[in-house]
Amino acid sequence: MAKIVLGIATSHGPMLATLPDQWHLRANDDKAMSALWYQGVRYTFDQLVRLRAPEHMEKQITHDVWCRRYAACQSALHRLAQVFAEASPDAAVIIGDDQMEIFTDYDMPAFSIYYGETIENIPFTDAQKAAMTPGMLIAEGGHHGVEPETFPGLPALARHLISAMITAEFDVSAARRLPNSASFPTSGIPHAYGFVYRQIMKDKAVANVPVFVNTFFPPNQPSASRCFRFGKALGRAIASWDADKRVAVIASGGMSHFVIDEPFDRGLLSAIERHDEARFHTIPDAYMQSGTSEVKNWVAAAGALLDSGLEMTLVDYVPCYRSAAGTGTAQAFAYWR
């Protein structure tokens, strides 16, 4: 039978692949957003500047601070890549989310599992680049190579997981092909997975199964509680696969963004580390909107790893602010072994 031998969870935001001198570019986008979620409430950028003035955010957005935090993030990513290489798993199950890249409002499943033979990681076309904001385009190298790459899927495990999850009463969608068309925002696998291939697996991806969770988009976002239960069922399904394979479970996304909420992040990380299941069932949905919703991928991974016997090590938590409104991305990096 298969055995889960490793867990990894990592943030994947653009700031991780953007030099500190350019972090301000994403702040310009923050100012243009009509609504920014913070602690379950929607604000404008100017409202957040006033609300968070007592925190003296100006101290968080100096060049020296940005350089130190960028360096801390790169060190943490290096450590996760090292842990992955040391464990040398045969296969991986990657839990991430799609941001209108391959799923659109034509069809947005709550949960989906990809079961294709191959996984294409394809750079943006000129037309796709032209539609992107500067702060996003700069970070493309964090999840795409210069040329298209093809990595191995794992249909045998994927089909087993689809069947097992249906039996466990999770009505997962199934996808056998990825888009390769100018009519889609992205061709090939979305950035949540490309980031793992590039930054954790160093472009030497093991056979893997992408698992999609719709964290971002109403009206069918699964709750944190549902994601944890989904993860528990997923972990049992992996362990029941009749193959002598060593499997890694990897979560991609988070932490709080586009407005950073350090107490929320630290509380969630502590709950994951302490196996505090009750916490996952009591988080208000309003706290998990916009980018912060990606922590549900961590929650699902925590469920999948619950019975593995592996223990979590938090490598680092790095709040990367980029404006006086407290916008930015809180980055976190952890492994289980």
Nearest to 13 by CA among 323, 287, 228, 322: 322
Q: Phi/psi of residue 319, each to 5°?
A: -80, 115
CATH number of the domain to which 91 belongs: 3.40.830.10
What is the token pair recorded at 45? 């950028």
Expressed as residue numbers, the domain containing 281 is 3-336
What total of structural domains would you count in the chain?
A: 1
- Report yes or no: 186 and 77 within 8 Å, Cβ to Cβ: no
Q: How far is CA 99 from CA 40, 83, 281, 294, 297, in A?
A: 20, 28, 24, 10, 13
- Exposed / middle / buried, residue 169 (Cβ in 10 Å: 0-12, 13-18, 19+): exposed
Give the three-state DSSP class for 317.
strand
What is the token pair recorded at 199? 């930054």
Output the tens digit of pLDDT for each of the chain's 337 residues: 999 999 999 999 999 999 999 999 888 889 999 899 999 999 999 999 999 999 999 999 999 999 999 999 999 999 999 999 999 999 999 999 999 888 988 899 999 999 999 999 998 888 888 877 777 778 888 888 889 999 999 999 999 999 999 999 999 999 999 988 666 677 899 999 999 999 999 999 999 999 999 999 999 999 999 999 999 999 999 999 999 999 999 999 999 999 999 999 999 999 999 999 999 999 999 999 999 999 999 999 999 999 999 999 999 999 999 999 999 999 999 999 9
Give the three-state DSSP class for 336.
strand
